[in-house]
Amino acid sequence: MSTYDVTSGETVSGIVLTDSDHMNVYRGGVAVNITLRNLSDLGSHSWLQVFNSGIVSETKVSSGGHVNLPGGSAYKTTISSGASMSVFSSGAVANINTIKKGGLVSVYSSGSVNSTTISAGGSLWISSESTANNTTISSGGSMSISSESTANNTTVNSGGKLQVYAGATANSTTVNSSGYLIVSSGGTATEIVENGGEVVENVGATVTFRPNTFSNLVLYGYDAVATVHSGTTANVTTISSGGRLEVYSGGRAIRTTVSTGGDLYVHSGGETNVTTISSGAGMNVFSGGTANGITVSSGGIFGIGGGTANVTTVSTGGELYVHSGGRVFSTTVYDGARMWISSGAVASNTTISSGDNLYVHSGGTASGITVSSGASFNLYSGGTANGLILQNGISMGIDAGETADSATVSAGASMVISSGGTARAIMENGGYVEFKTGATATFAANTFSGVTVSSAC
């Protein structure tokens, strides 16, 4: 074991510390191009300690090596697998650091690190009122901050992770595609730039976002998740094979394609415009969310759970589910598609074509529905249909517990109201209407081919 003491006015260079070798750099001392590594498997460690006003530069630390900064400065330090560095006390500063796979840097007791790059498998821990500035986290790298510590100007790249724990603050963090930022309860993250990565805001966390627009993002695979919060816009996004896009309050997604295995979720206050849902893909709009201009292709599934959808087209083989609290306006359902309206849901201005199926369950409401020839409209007990237009070839029954208001029965169409069923303000427009004993039926005045049909008929 060798010990090196570098004191005031001394400069040493090119020394290799192995096994249990130690080097102490004191005030005014300088050590350049020092290498720490272990040559034996006996569990020994080589050490480099830098005290107040000591300086080390271009240090390379391999497995078993450790650098301590209780008060000095380090420049251009590389920490490799099995190596570590500790930066502690208010006078300790490490600048331009590289943390490689398996390397660890711990900063605590008011220490600081600047311009650090964390590579795959490297780790940086910031705690106890310490500071990290201008950090880049690459794929497989991770950084955590806690205990009244602060991270400024952090970039989280694909596969990188930044976690902000209670009492810690991250300012001006950019989360790039497939990067990951999680803010725990009691943690704070300000001026976040979402650039295709995922930001998780736990209950009790404080977060703010800087406006940003990103384009042409491809989310492929189960680890490919992007979030869009307030002020962020996602343009021309493609989602598939386990990928997921989450749109939160104040966020927008424009011209999104959801392909096989992909998912798009729109949360309260979020908005999407011009979305295509392909076979094997899914989209859900939750309470308070809005979706405009949706196309559901064959095999695609679109769910409205308390949110609103405007101008939706459901193509052959597509499915649309409107759950409690959901509202859909101006929907066109084409041949072979299906649409369900559950209790507490409302559908307005819907056109269903030949071969289509529309189901209105108990507590559901359908308004302004045009049922074309060959389509199937199914109204269940407790369901309500307002402003139906039954076209040529459509036969519809209103059974016990079902209600239809302001229905128009066109030439070639028919409506039969059974006992216990209710149809109010029926407009006979050349079609056939029959109401059985025990049914409730009223008619609206109308004229066709010179004949006036009123409630007296």
| Tens digits of residue pLDDT in 208-227 | 999 999 999 999 998 899 99
Q: Distance between CA 22 and CA 26 in Å, rounded?
A: 13
Q: Please tell me whether the overall predicted TM-score, pTM, comes out greater than 0.85 for this model.
A: yes
Choose between 196 and 430: higher pLDDT: 196
Q: Distance between CA 254 and CA 272 in Å, rounded?
A: 6
Burial of 92 (0-12, 13-18, 19+ CB in 10 A): buried
Q: Average pLDDT for residues 380-388, to the nearest whole number? A: 91
- 3-state class percentages of the chain: helix first, strand second, coil last, to nearest 5: 0, 60, 40
pLDDT, residue 449, reads: 67
pLDDT, residue 457, reads: 44
Neighbouring CB atoms inside 10 A of 29's CB total: 24
CA distances from 448 to 32, 409, 427, 431, 435 (A): 100, 12, 10, 11, 21
**Is the Cβ–Cβ distance between 325 and 342 less than 8 Å?**
no
Q: Which range, 16-25, 35-44, 256-265, is most confident? A: 256-265
Tens of pLDDT along 114-151? Answer: 999 999 899 999 999 999 999 999 999 999 999 899 99
pLDDT, residue 357, reads: 84
Q: Copy the structure tokens of residue 29.
A: 């001392």
What single letter denotes the amino acid at residue 226?
A
Q: Average pLDDT for residues 397-401, to the nearest whole number? A: 91
Q: Where are the domains of the chain?
A: 212-386
Phi (first) and psi of residue 121, to 5 degrees: 85, -5
Q: Distance between CA 447 and CA 237 in Å, rounded?
A: 52
Region of residue 91 (left: phi > 0; alpha: psi -120 to 50; beta: else): alpha
Q: Average pLDDT for residues 365-371, to the nearest whole number? A: 92
Residue 41 has pLDDT above 80, yes or no: no
pLDDT band at 19 (very low <50, low <70, confident <90, very high): confident
pLDDT, residue 353, reads: 84
Q: Distance between CA 11 and CA 198 in Å, rounded?
A: 47
Closest alpha carbon to 19 in 2, 6, 34: 2
Q: Which of 44-48, 93-97, 107-111, 141-145 has the lowest mean pLDDT?
A: 44-48
**Is the Cβ–Cβ distance between 272 and 290 less than 8 Å?**
yes
